[in-house]
Amino acid sequence: MIKGIIFDHDGTLVDSERVHFEIWRDVLRSYSTELNRDDYIRHHAGVPTDKNAERMVKDFDLAISAAELTATKLAAARAHLDNTAFPLYPDTHEAVALSYSAGMKMGIATGAGRVEIDSSLDSHQLRSYFGAISTRDDVKSGKPAPDVYLQCAQMLKLKAKDCIAIEDSRTGVESALAAGMEVIVIANDFSALQDLSRATYSASSLREAVVIALTKKGPYD
């Protein structure tokens, strides 16, 4: 029986991948490199910043280190979030409230940093719903390693097998599966071309994903 729902952040609770693409595009232009949307969708959407930086340095033969590129992108993201939080998906508040009212323990396990999560939770009044938050800043290895999911489950005082994850990307699906959790995937415009076939279930919206999770909890009407 499922006792907890652990949500991804980017592309799941917030519609942020478009913003991340635009930030990456602007950062790479400062190094005279053009990143197009199709390449971003195919290779970079849903991937942690440091992993993206490693690939971009190699693929674009940039004369900087991956660590430098990571730092530059994170600084650009922080500057953006100082003015504007990532937008929520239209059904985020409804889905989160539905899970909460059903008595589920709720957490966030994300490849994003603490600054990004704090911006979303505080700007959109979501913090009170979540009993645990694990970010890339809190663990040794980010997604697709299982660390953030395992830590989040531990913080909720639940076994991993008693939690179900809601994700949008292949990287996230692999992370949750590695932690020993079932996974519900919601494909979006930036992840639809990824191989999401290993997810346990698929949903067309966040609300539908929560309803699926609640049927794993027990009788649901």
CATH number for the domain spanning 144: value is 3.40.50.1000
Residues 66 and 155 in one domain: no
* Domains held by the chain: number: 2
Residues 110 and 207 in one domain: yes
Q: What is the pLDDT of residue 177?
A: 98
Which range of residues forms the domain containing residue 127?
4-15+86-217
Residues 128 and 198 in one domain: yes
Residues 46 and 128 in one domain: no
Residues 127 and 55 in one domain: no
Amino acid identity, residue 24?
W
Residues 42 and 96 in one domain: no
pLDDT tens digits for 152-190?
A: 999 999 999 999 999 999 999 999 999 999 999 999 988
Rounded to two decimals, what is the model's pTM? 0.88
Q: What is the DSSP string of the chain?
A: ---EEEE-SBTTTB--HHHHHHHHHHHHHTTT----HHHHHHHTTT--HHHHHHHHHHHTT-SS-HHHHHHHHHHHHHHHHTT-PPPBPTTHHHHHHHHHHTT-EEEEE-SS-HHHHHHHHHHTT-GGG-SEEE-GGGSSS-TTSSHHHHHHHHHTT--GGGEEEEESSHHHHHHHHHTT-EEEEE--TTTTTS--TTSSEEESSHHHHHHHHHHHHS---
Q: What is the DSSP string of 84-108?
A: -PPPBPTTHHHHHHHHHHTT-EEEE
Say if residue 208's pLDDT is above 70: yes
Q: Which two tokens stand for residue 163?
A: 């939690």
Residues 122 and 191 in one domain: yes
Residues 102 and 193 in one domain: yes
Asked if residue 144 has a cis previous peptide bond (ω within 30° of 0), the answer is yes
Residues 119 and 175 in one domain: yes
Confidence of residue 119 (pLDDT cuts 50, 70, 90): very high
Q: Which two tokens stand for residue 42?
A: 């195919």
Say if residue 220's pLDDT is above 80: no
Q: Report the pLDDT averaged over residues 139-162.
A: 96
Nearest to 12 by CA among 180, 160, 130, 153: 130
Residues 56 and 139 in one domain: no
Confidence of residue 218 (pLDDT cuts 50, 70, 90): low
CATH number for the domain spanning 69: value is 1.10.150
pLDDT tens digits for 18-49?
A: 999 999 999 999 999 999 999 999 899 888 89
Q: Report the pLDDT averaged over residues 122-148.
A: 95
Residues 130 and 45 in one domain: no
pLDDT more than 90, % of the chain:
86
